[in-house]
Amino acid sequence: MEYVQERITTLHGVRDAAPEAPTDRTAVVVPMAGREYRTPAATGVFSTLERVSPARVVVALQADPERVADVRAWLDGFDLPVDLLWCDGPRLDALLADRGLAGETGKGRDVWLALGLASRHEFVVVHDADATSYSAADVPRLCAPLADGEFEFVKGYYARIERTQLFGRLFRLFYEPLVATLRERHTADVLDYLGAFRYALAGEVGLTGDLARRVRLSRGWGLEIDTLGSAFEQGGFERTAQVDLGIDVHDHRGISGGEGLAAMSRAVGRALLRIVEAHGVRPDYDALPSRYERTGARFVRQYAADARHNGLDYDPMAERDQVATYADAIVPPDADTRLPAWTDAPLDPDDVREVAAADLAATKD
pLDDT in tens, 211-226: 999 999 999 888 999 9
Q: Between the CA of residue 161 and those of 135, 242, 320, what are the distances in Å? A: 16, 19, 19
Q: Which amino acid is at 337?
A: T
**Are residues 156 and 167 located together in one domain of the fold?**
no
Domain count, the chain: 2
> How far is Cα 43 from Cα 209, in angstroms, rounded to an integer?
27
Q: Classify residue 113: in a domain, yes or no.
A: yes
**Are residues 204 and 189 located together in one domain of the fold?**
no
Residue 253 is predicted with a pLDDT of: 56
Residue 254 is predicted with a pLDDT of: 56
**Model confidence at 15: pLDDT above 80:** no
**Are residues 132 and 149 located together in one domain of the fold?**
yes
More confident residue, 261 or 329: 329
**Are residues 67 and 216 located together in one domain of the fold?**
yes
**Are residues 35 and 101 located together in one domain of the fold?**
yes
**Model confidence at 339: pLDDT above 70:** yes
**Are residues 169 and 275 located together in one domain of the fold?**
yes
**Model confidence at 365: pLDDT above 60:** no
**Model confidence at 54: pLDDT above 80:** yes
Q: What residue numbers bound the domain in which 225 lies?
A: 1-160+199-249+340-365
User: In which region does residue 246 sit, left (phi positive, over 0), alpha (psi from -120 to 50) or beta (all else)?
Assistant: left
Q: Classify residue 58: in a domain, yes or no.
A: yes
Q: What is the mean pLDDT of the chain?
A: 93
Mean pLDDT in residue range 307-324: 94
**Are residues 1 and 75 located together in one domain of the fold?**
yes
**Model confidence at 110: pLDDT above 70:** yes
**Are residues 266 and 185 located together in one domain of the fold?**
yes
b (16+ CB within 10 A) / e for 244-257: bbeebbbeeeebee
Q: Classify residue 127: in a domain, yes or no.
A: yes
Max CA separation in the chain (angstroms): 60
Window from 89-103, 238-252, 277-291 with minimum mean pLDDT: 238-252
Q: Classify residue 56: in a domain, yes or no.
A: yes
Q: Are 71 and 46 in contact (CB under 8 A)?
A: no
> How far is Cα 271 from Cα 359, in angstroms, rounded to an integer?
32
Q: Classify residue 321: in a domain, yes or no.
A: yes
Residue 162 is predicted with a pLDDT of: 76
Mean pLDDT in residue range 99-107: 92
Sheet holding 56-62, edge to edge: 9-11, 240-247, 153-159, 205-208, 123-126, 26-33, 56-62, 82-86
**Model confidence at 2: pLDDT above 90:** no
**Are residues 237 and 154 located together in one domain of the fold?**
yes
> How far is Cα 166 from Cα 169, in angstroms, rounded to an integer?
8
pLDDT tens for each residue of 232-281: 999 999 999 999 998 877 665 556 555 678 888 999 999 999 999 999 99
CB atoms within 10 A of CB 325: 17
Question: Residue by residue, what is the 3-state secondary structure of the chain?
Answer: CCCCCCCCEEECCCCCCCCCCCHHHEEEEEEEEHHHCCCHHHHHHHHHHHHHCCCEEEEEEECCHHHHHHHHHHHHCCCCCEEEEECCCHHHHHHHHHCCCCCCCCHHHHHHHHHHHHCCCCEEEECCCCECCCCCCHHHHHHHHHCCCCCCEEEEEEECEECCEECCHHHHHHHHHHHHHHHHHCCCHHHHHHCCCCCCCCCCEEEEHHHHCCCCCCCCCCHHHHHHHHHHHHCCHHHEEEEEEEECCECCCCCCCCCCHHHHHHHHHHHHHHHHHHCCCCCCCCCHHHHHHHHHHHHHHHHHHHHHHCCCECCHHHHHHHHHHHHCCCCCCCCCCCCCCCCCCCCCHHHHHHHHHHHHHHCCC
Q: Are 265 and 323 in contact (CB under 8 A)?
A: no
| Nearest residue to 153 (alpha-carbon basis) of 23, 9, 339 | 9
Residue 260 is predicted with a pLDDT of: 74
Residue 47 is predicted with a pLDDT of: 97
**Are residues 310 and 171 located together in one domain of the fold?**
yes
Q: Which amino acid is at 127?
A: H
More confident residue, 212 or 2: 212
Residue 354 is predicted with a pLDDT of: 96
**Model confidence at 79: pLDDT above 80:** yes
Cα torsion angle, 199, 203, 204, 205, sign = positive
Mean pLDDT in residue range 85-104: 95
**Are residues 191 and 178 located together in one domain of the fold?**
yes
Q: Between the CA of residue 113 and those of 1, 49, 50, what are the distances in Å? A: 39, 21, 23
Residue 256 is predicted with a pLDDT of: 52
**Are residues 348 and 278 located together in one domain of the fold?**
no
Residue 346 is predicted with a pLDDT of: 96
pTM, to two decimals = 0.95
| Nearest residue to 145 (alpha-carbon basis) of 10, 47, 267, 48 | 10
Q: Classify residue 207: in a domain, yes or no.
A: yes
Residue 131 is predicted with a pLDDT of: 87
Q: Classify residue 335: in a domain, yes or no.
A: no
